[in-house]
Structure 1
Amino acid sequence: MHFNTTILKNKNFLSYWSGGLISGLGDAMFLLALNWMVVEKTNSGFILGTIMASISLPQILLVTIGGVIADRLNPKWVMIASDAVRGLIMVFLVVMSFDGVPPMWTLFMMAIIYGCMDAVFFPAQSAFQQRLVSSEQYTQSFGLLMISVQVAGIAGPVLGGALISKWGYQLVIVANGLSFVCSILLLLLVKPLPAASADEAEKERLSFLSDIHVGIRYVLKNHLILTTSLSAFLVNACVQATFIAIPFLAKQAHLGAQGFGLMNMGIGIGGAFAAIFFAFIRIQKPTPRMTFLACFFEGLAFLGLVFTRALWPLIGTMLVIGITEAVVNTIAPSVNQKIIPPHLIGRVISFMIVLMSGSEPLARAFSGWMIQWSGVTVLLICTGVLEMVVAVIGYFMPVIRNYASEQAQIMAQDGTMKE
């Protein structure tokens, strides 16, 4: 582990990073607007949870197809096409919101289309990122990407809350649409490293189903990937349920849209601290245990939200959540990209997304129902305790515990073969 800034000289990565920052800022503003629109108009946790579930459900159902597309086609153009469709959806919402809040059916339609685009975007993004930097720079690249996410998480909610308060939802929707245009333009400037070639058997792809089966078989045979993916299934359920609860927590505390934005800003600040660390401190040997440790503290922070309704303690607790989320989203994909073959990454990541995110639609819908019938406090206690239990069990599992020593043996064998 040492200080290193060579990644900042990679112009291709910086162009990609800038596009992610701009589109992330637009998404952060729009997500705040979407949450507050639904809460203000319906005051229904069930409707909000169902809309959020409408984003993740098509993503889960279609992401394996998206993984095959990412491996067959140029991932750069797959990402550009996805951004273009989402930009057009923003245009549609602007037209439908001239009289104020868009009709609920348009929000459901937007959610479904977003989910479909995410299904192809995320596998393509994983394949594309692997071709921008060397393997030694994976944690740094994810750290820099997390900086853009967290900067967007800090500025987006505050800016979005201010725009909603003064000019309404339409300006936020327009801003998000423009962010997709900027992302497309910057992606056009990126020239990634040549793709690693597969063997001849891999090149003979007979059908989508055969390609999907290759990714599924790899995940099921790799016990580390399978264990972390199934653990993430439960952790992501806790995270999504908690995020559904947060706008209702803000409303109960009488914080308003701006207070809700400041709470989200806390997540962004915490994540930015962690992301800056990972961006400039090169960690050459990330391990899954680091991820489980972060999950434990995230669960503890969820429990912390139960004990206060004052703004600043809530912001402080959200800051801790932001740190843990950044650690998980930097270490876990760095480990994955180190062990997954480049020519398989789209298909493998897509099936991992199915396993990891399969709980999200149900968690979002169920959490909305739970808020209606038992309140925010009970939900936060359940999510905090469950995530802590999953983290403790995962941390001590043999396949997780032995990862570092096994990787050291593999590196030693590689070194011997080269000699």
Structure 2
Amino acid sequence: MSEPVTGERPAHRDPDVLRWLGAYAASATGDNVYYMALSWAAVQAGTPSQAGLVMAASAVPRALLILGGGVIADRFGPRRVLLTSSGVRCAAVVTVAVLLLVSSPGLWLLGVLALVFGVVDAVLMPALGALPARITARGQLARVQGMRGMASRLANVVGAPLGGLGVALGGAAAAFGTAALLFAVSLPLLATVRMRRRPWDGAVGQDLPPRPTAARELRDGLSYIRRSPVLARLMVVIALSDLGFVGPLNVGLTLLADERGWGASGMGWVLAGFGAGAGAMSLLLTVRGRVPRAGLVLSVTIAVGAVAVGAIAYMPTLAAAVGVALAVGLLAGLSGALCGALMQTESDPAYIGRVTSVANLFNLGLAPLTFPLTGAAIALWGTGPVFAASAGVCALGGLTGLGSRALRHAELPR
């Protein structure tokens, strides 16, 4: 592994980072189990269209409230926000599991749970992105992003089968109970994470100036992003790459597999190729710890990855599509980690929650809204043209980064 600067503790040997990583892995696995349980319970309780509405219910409050969640993360501190929001999620899922055991409440309960998760996620996601910058040195942030990527891939691999096992053994109630247990495991780990003291916290007993209103803090955060040459352009890059990437790799891939006769197993192989590529790149970043010329590499990988995204729809065989998906995973894994690391290193710690919330607005709030548009477009024009158009949007994100001198020359700290 590359050596950190003198006096800087490597992230993979830092107890606080490892406790945070364990909490994140448990929570992310719980998320996968939760979504498996929710989708199964919704399908059993209603029609497919009603189940789809339940599954989509979280997106609305998440998109509407996530900018406010960034203000909350900066105002109260990301660890406190994560502890509170994880506790709320645990309590909500336990309540639903118990109600499913003793009665058959129907879709309304699942809809309420989905809405609660959407509201909580709007607060939790910015805090999750802001915490690494408060527990490790700036030079370790790329490595932390790699470690987070590995944990996320592991959660995806373990979570869905674990949720399926819970449903098979005890129905949706057992699966919800498993998710609640995983959320509960994250709480003591988070509680023992020590955050670095911020320079604006002031000395003990020192009088601090009154805080501005939440609306003023939100405006200040947006203004801060707009004034930063790197962050302002980085947000445009994130928005374009997510808007062009999410639809094809979710709805589009399902329709492509059906069109080509690959079936669910074929789609699974393509997704496995993507996951293997992204996981391998996360491992590389964890080992290496730093990528030189990060802004330039980020922009180039997004542009090249866009070509690979468009090419998936034109592969003549399943094996070829899996190979291209592997390339997409490698490039997307690298660009995604560099986006996160640059966003944290370029942000003043006082604004990191609000900066993260703006990025989350695009990738968690607005990008999922392209799902129905992607499906409708494929119905009209077919998979090939829609994949190509989406790749063009992704490529525009990479070209936007290459066109910005500030972002092109942005570096991660040594």
> In structure 1, how many angstroms separate the alpha carbons of the residues matched to 2:255 and 2:171?
20
The number of equivalent residue pairs is 404
After superposition, what is the alpha-carbon deviation per residue over 1:117-173, rounded to whole angstroms, capped at 9, x for unaligned?
121112222332112111111111111111111222333345556766787655544
Matches within 5 A, 1:36-47: none
Does the CA contact (< 8 Å) of 2:82 and 2:127 recur in 1? yes
Q: Summarize the Cα distance change of 1:27–1:354 in structure 2 as closer, same or farther, 3 Å threshold.
A: closer
Matches within 5 A, 1:370-381: 370-371=377-378, 374=381, 376-381=383-388
Structure 1 residue 327 and structure 2 residue 331: aligned?
A: no
After superposition, what is the alpha-carbon deviation per residue over 1:257-307, rounded to whole angstroms, capped at 9, x for unaligned?
x66555443333222110111111121655222222222233223223313
Q: Summarize the Cα distance change of 1:111–1:373 in structure 2 as closer, same or farther, 3 Å threshold.
A: farther
> In structure 2, how many angstroms separate the alpha carbons of the residues matched to 1:319 and 1:203?
52
Match of 2:16 in 1: 12
Match of 1:255 in 2: 263
Match of 1:2 in 2: 2
> In structure 2, how many angstroms separate the alpha carbons of the residues matched to 1:34 and 1:374?
33
Structure 1 residue 227 and structure 2 residue 236: aligned?
A: no
Equivalent of 2:216, from 210, 213, 236?
A: 210
Does the CA contact (< 8 Å) of 2:295 and 2:409 recur in 1? no
Match of 1:182 in 2: 185
Secondary structure (helix, strand or coil) at the match of 2:131 reads helix
Aligned-residue CA RMSD (Å)? 3.8
Further displaced range: 126-135 or 239-248: 239-248
Equivalent of 2:306, from 299, 302, 324?
A: 299
User: So what's the TM-score if we normalise by structure 2?
Assistant: 0.82
Q: Summarize the Cα distance change of 1:33–1:18 in structure 2 as closer, same or farther, 3 Å threshold.
A: same
Matches within 5 A, 1:70-149: 70-91=73-94, 93-94=96-97, 106-149=109-152
> In structure 2, how many angstroms separate the alpha carbons of the residues matched to 1:367 and 1:53?
16
Q: List runs of 5+ in structure 1 lacking aligned partners.
A: 412-419
Q: CA deviation at 1:215?
A: 0.4
After superposition, what is the alpha-carbon deviation per residue over 1:381-412, rounded to whole angstroms, capped at 9, x for unaligned?
322232123323432333333445xx99xx9x
Further displaced range: 112-121 or 302-311: 302-311
Q: CA deviation at 1:31?
A: 4.1
Does the CA contact (< 8 Å) of 1:299 and 1:385 recur in 2? yes
Secondary structure (helix, strand or coil) at the match of 1:2 reads coil
Does the CA contact (< 8 Å) of 2:243 and 2:393 recur in 1? no
Q: CA deviation at 1:36?
A: 7.8
Q: CA deviation at 1:66?
A: 1.4
Structure 1 residue 384 and structure 2 residue 385: aligned?
A: no
Matches within 5 A, 1:235-274: 235-242=241-248, 243-250=250-257, 253=261, 255-256=263-264, 261-274=268-281
Q: List runs of 5+ in structure 2 lacking aligned partners.
A: none
Percent of aligned positions with the same letter in both sequences?
22
User: So what's the TM-score if we normalise by structure 1?
Assistant: 0.81
Q: Summarize the Cα distance change of 1:232–1:254 in structure 2 as closer, same or farther, 3 Å threshold.
A: same
